[in-house]
Amino acid sequence: MLGWILYSKSKSELDELDNGVNRLLQAAEAKGITLEVFKPEEFELVVSRNDKKSIFINNKETAMPDFLIPRIGSQTSYFGLAVIRQIERLGVYSCNSSQTIEIVKDKLQMHQLLAHHQLPTPNTMLVKFPIDAGLVKQQIGFPLVVKNITGTEGKGIYLIHSEEQFVDLMELLYANNPASHVILQEFIQSSYGKDLRVFIVGGKVIGCIKRYSESSFKANFSRGGKVASYDLTPEIEHLATTTARLVNLDIAGVDILFDNEGFKICEANSSPGFKGLEKVIGHTVAEQILDYIVDRLERATTA
């Protein structure tokens, strides 16, 4: 069986920081699966009415794989999405799909979807310049969280403590890029420096960990946060699996905030890292991802 990983680096460029891709390669080798890694920039897209079973990579016509694993997540560019769509159009299963990735990378659209289905999320507002600080204070309040609409791994996220600090930041953003796409979110004080990461494969939770930081309000493991096991409750499982189901995420990392006696959904990730999770539950995540893909393909063949 042959699979491709679509990533921000080619196979020869990988290093020890590329944990998720390295673990998938390791697991694939142990299972007898051939897995290659490509960057979107290595593809040439030629669209025609003929459903060819090949695509151009590095200017060479290349036979299609059995499956694709996109691992760029919210940083997937328009061209990257086009590559995934083309591979899907040629009959290859993508885990996750281009449509799902496009929805999940837009944080506002995700919160609109979650709110529509009556799921608990922080109050969220899209920034429109010039900003009305009075309206923001009324609807969101201070402190608040400012996020890039497509940020990932805790990048582009700021905790703003006061209206004055908020106005200064908005003026800076507007001066540098009046077309900035930024959202504002209610700050959940009870989740300061901690959250939950729930990892889902094929609609089932395979792990739940608490992430926490002793020096920052952001708890991302990739940014120095720590991890610990956390008991999965029916409420947490419901919030995480429902979020994944709403956008058809085959692989999902759902981040959940502590909110007094309950929880709120922070965001979903279509290419979640799992180094922190494997530190807690052992090296099984990459294997479970590949097992799910193989099982799905086998069931599709016999259906």
pLDDT digits (tens, 9 = 90+) for 139-198: 999 999 999 887 665 577 899 999 999 999 999 998 988 888 899 999 999 999 999 999
Would you state the pLDDT for residue 154? Answer: 55
pTM for this predicted structure: 0.91
If asked whether residues 225 and 201 sit together in one domain, one would say: yes
Would you state the pLDDT for residue 288? Answer: 98
Q: Residue 135: which CATH number?
A: 3.30.1490.20
If asked whether residues 95 and 177 sit together in one domain, one would say: no
If asked whether residues 183 and 194 sit together in one domain, one would say: no
Six-digit token string for 148:
């890039």
Would you state the pLDDT for residue 152? Answer: 60
Would you state the pLDDT for residue 219? Answer: 64
Dist CA 110 CA 105 (whole Å): 8
**Beta-carbon neighbour count of residue 266 at 10 Å?**
21
Number of domains the chain is built from: 3
Would you state the pLDDT for residue 224? Answer: 66
Tens of pLDDT along 227-284?
999 999 999 999 999 999 999 999 999 999 999 889 999 999 999 999 999 999 999 9
Tens of pLDDT along 83-117?
999 999 999 999 999 999 999 999 999 999 999 99
Bridge partners, 212 (sequence order): 194, 226
Q: Residue 75: which CATH number?
A: 3.40.50.20
Q: How far are the Cα atoms of 89, 137, 251, 303 from residue 204, in angstroms, in the given order?
A: 27, 39, 9, 22
In this structure, is residue 297 part of a structural domain? no
